[in-house]
Structure 1
Amino acid sequence: MANVKVAIVYYSSTGTNYQLAQWAKEAAEADGAEVKLLKFPELAPDAAIDSNPAWRKHIEATKHVPEVTADDMLWADSYIFSVPSRFGVLPAQAKQFFDTLGGLWGEGKLANKVVSAMSSAANSHGGQEQTVLSVYTTMYHWGAIVASPAYTNAVAFSSGGNPYGTSVTVDQNGKMVEDVEKAVKHQAARTTAVAKAIVEGLK
C-alpha cells in the first residue's frame, strides 16, 4: 500500500499555529504518511504586519514554507488545518484560499478527503471551538470526511478538552497556556489512520 498523503496547512501571524502544524507533521510522518507542511497565503498589508514586530519576525522566519495551492489539495488524501480564531471563525487568509477551490469542488475532486482542524485564541472562550467548526462547515460542502479527535485519547482532558479539534489559549506574551503537544500528535495520528482506512477502502 502506498503511503497516505497528508497536507498540513496553517495560518499563523506570530507562530502558534505554525508550531501546532509542526507537531502534527511529526506525528503524521511517524505513522508513515507522506507529508507536506504548507501555509495559507498572507493577505494582510505590510503596514499591519510591521505594526507588530513579532508578526514580521515570524513571516521572515517562515519564508521557506511553501504556500498551499490547488495542486496540493488534489495531491493530498487528507488535510490537517491549523488556524487562529478571528471573531469566532476562520481567518480571512484561509477563507480566501478555500473560495478559490470552487472548480475542484464542482468536479467532486475534494470529496472523500479526510480532514481535521485545530485552532488558537487569546483566551479560553475566544472562539476556538467555533473556529474549528467553521472550518468543518466548508469541508461538509466538499463531501470531505471529518476526523475529529473527540475523546479517543485521555490526553484530550489534560489539554483543554476540545472534542472538535485541539485548541490552545495564547497569553499576552505569545506563550501557549495549555500543554497541547501530545493532543496535537494524537489528533494527527488519528487523522492519518482514518485517511489510510478510507484510501484503502475506496480502492
Structure 2
Amino acid sequence: MAITVLVAYYSAGGTTRRLAEAVAEGAEKAGGEVRLRRAEETAPAEIVAGRQDWADNLAATDHLAPPTHEDLRWADAIMLGTPTRYGNIATPLMRFLETTGPLWFADELADKVVGGFASVGTAHGGHESTLLALSHVFHHWGALYVSPGYLGEASRAAGNPYGVSALASIGRPGPSEEELSAARAYGARVAATAGRLVRGALRDE
C-alpha cells in the first residue's frame, strides 16, 4: 500500500518550486505516491510581468493544479512550502490554508503527518519564523509535525532543524545542492514516518 503525499507550495522566482520538486522526489523514493500542487498566483499580472524570473516560473508550472481540500483528505502526509514574506507565509499559500477551516472543524486533518519548507533572500531574512508560522497551522489542525532535525549528513549540511530552507537572492541563485539534498532527505523522512503510522494503524484494526 503506497503512502500518499501532498506537496503543495507557492513560488515566485522558482527557488521554492525547486525545493518542492526535491521534496517530492525524496517522498517518491521512499515509496510515496505524490501529488505536486502549486498555489494560485494572487499578484496582478502587470507586477508579475515586471520580473522575468517570476513570469518564467509561472509559465513553467502552469500545468500544475492548485491544491484542494480533496488533496488534503487524500494525503497521509502533507508538506507545504513557501517563500518568506516579512518572516511569514506568502499570501497565495495562506489564502488556500485559510479555506481549510471546515476540514479543521471536522477533525479531518488531525493526525496527518506534516512538514514545511521555505526559501529566503537573505541569510537572516525570516526562514525560521516562516517555518514556525507553518507549524502554527499544523498545530491547529492537530497534525503530527515531523522535523528534519539534524539527522544524517544531508540535514546537517543544510542546518535547519525546523524544516528545509534555501537561500537565494540576486547574484546567488538557489537552492544549492546541499539544500536540495536536504529537501530530498526530508521528503523521504516525512513519507517514511507516515508509512510507519499507517501500517501501525492497519495492524491495530
Q: Same fold (TM over 0.5)?
A: yes
CA-CA distance at 1:117 after TM superposition? 0.6
Distance 1:28 1:61 in 2: 22
Within the candidate set 155, 161, 164, 1:163 is matched to 161
Q: For the aligned residues, what is the CA RMSD?
A: 1.2
Q: Distance in 1 between matches of 2:57 and 2:191?
A: 28
Relative contact order, CA 8 A, sep 6+: which one is greater?
2
Runs of 4+ in 1 over 4 A off after TM superposition: none
Q: Which residue in 1 is equivalent to 2:94?
A: 95
Q: Aligned equivalents of 1:51 and 1:201: distance in 2? A: 51
1:40 & 1:144 partners in 2: Cα distance? 21
| 1:167-195 deviation per Cα after TM superposition (whole angstroms, max 9, x unaligned) | 11102136026431111111111101111
Q: TM-score by structure 1 length?
A: 0.95
SS of match in other structure, 2:12? coil
Answer yes or no: is the 8 Å Cα contact 2:18–2:175 preserved in 1. Answer: no
Unpaired runs of 5+ in structure 1?
none
Give the TM-score taking structure 2 as reference length. Answer: 0.94
CA gap 1:116/1:168 in 2 versus in 1, 3 angstroms = same
Relative to structure 1, the CA distance from residue 81 to residue 177 in structure 2 (aligned partners, 3 Å threshold; closer, same or farther) is: closer
**Which amino acid is 2:16 matched to?**
N
Determine if contact 2:39/2:66 at 8 Å carries over to the other structure: yes
Q: Could you give the per-residue CA deviations for residues 7-40 of structure 1, whole angstroms, max 9, x where no partner exists?
A: 0011101111111111111111111111001011
Distance 2:81 2:97 in 1: 14
Q: Distance in 2 between matches of 1:115 and 1:177?
A: 22
Gapped runs of 5+ residues in structure 2?
none
